[in-house]
Structure formats: C-alpha cells, structure tokens
Amino acid sequence: MRLNLKVPFAEKDQAKKLGARWDAGRKIWYVEGKDDLAPFSRWSPTPHDASADDGRAQKSVSAKNQDSSGKVQVGSRYVEHPRVCDCPPWEVCDKCRATALSSRV
C-alpha cells in the first residue's frame, strides 16, 4: 500500500535514507510496501492536507458546501432570493431591474 508523505525540502535526505521515494509526476514523497511505517510518522499528512489523498479533499470540501439540489450554500446568512425572470444572472432585464444588485445594464 502506498502512503504519501509531507516531507519538507530540508528533510528530504532523511526521508530518502529511510526508504521514501520521490514521485516526480505528482511531486510528492511516498513509501510503498513497508511493514513498519513508524519511522515515517512525522511526515504523515493530516486528514486536512490535500496531498494526503491527491486532491480528493478539495472535491469533498466543495461538495460539502452544496446541498442535494446542487445550490452552493455560502455562510450562515445565505438567503436565496426568488427568481423574477429567466435571464442569465449576469444580465439585467426590465423584469429584474428592481431586484438587481447593480444599476449597470
């Protein structure tokens, strides 16, 4: 099993001596096929590091901010206003001019 590591540049030689390898494509240190991972525990990424799972944490964060309808919920004071018309949000038509955030047309 592969374990990605978060090794600072200054400690790369120490990790290499213990058997860590550099993945140039992903630009990350890793160990694979080791029974004892204790020597690498200080470089083991936390669950909040994106390098721990190759970017899957980024996807789960954005998915967490969406409800089942696909609308993005931002902050505790988010209020969804009803749609007045079917024009794109970046355009202001005559129907939605009164509720538009900016007066530019």
43 found inside a domain: yes
Instruction: Quote the number of domains for the chain.
Output: 1
In a domain, 87, yes or no: no
Which residues on adjacent β-strands are paired with residue 66? 72
Please list, in sequence order, all residues whose beta carbon lies within 8 angstroms of the beta carbon of residue 45, skipping any fewer than 6 positions away.
4, 5, 6, 51, 52
Task: Note the pLDDT tens digit of each residue in 50-75.
Answer: 544 444 444 444 555 444 555 666 67
- The pTM assigned to this predicted structure is 0.46
Neighbouring-strand partners of residue 21: 30
Chain segment 27-55, per-residue pLDDT in tens:
999 999 888 888 998 998 876 665 444 44
Q: State the chain's mean pLDDT as an integer.
A: 74
Is residue 34, in this structure, part of any structural domain at all?
yes
Is residue 101 one of the residues assigned to a domain?
no
Task: Give the angle subtended at the CA of 61 by the CAs of 87 and 67, to the nearest 5°.
Answer: 50
d(CA 47, CA 29): 16
Residue 91 falls inside a structural domain = no
Answer yes or no: is 54 within a domain: yes
Query: CB under 8 Å to 24, separation ≥6 — which residues?
Result: none
pLDDT of residue 95: 78
Q: Which range marks the domain in which residue 40 is found?
A: 2-66
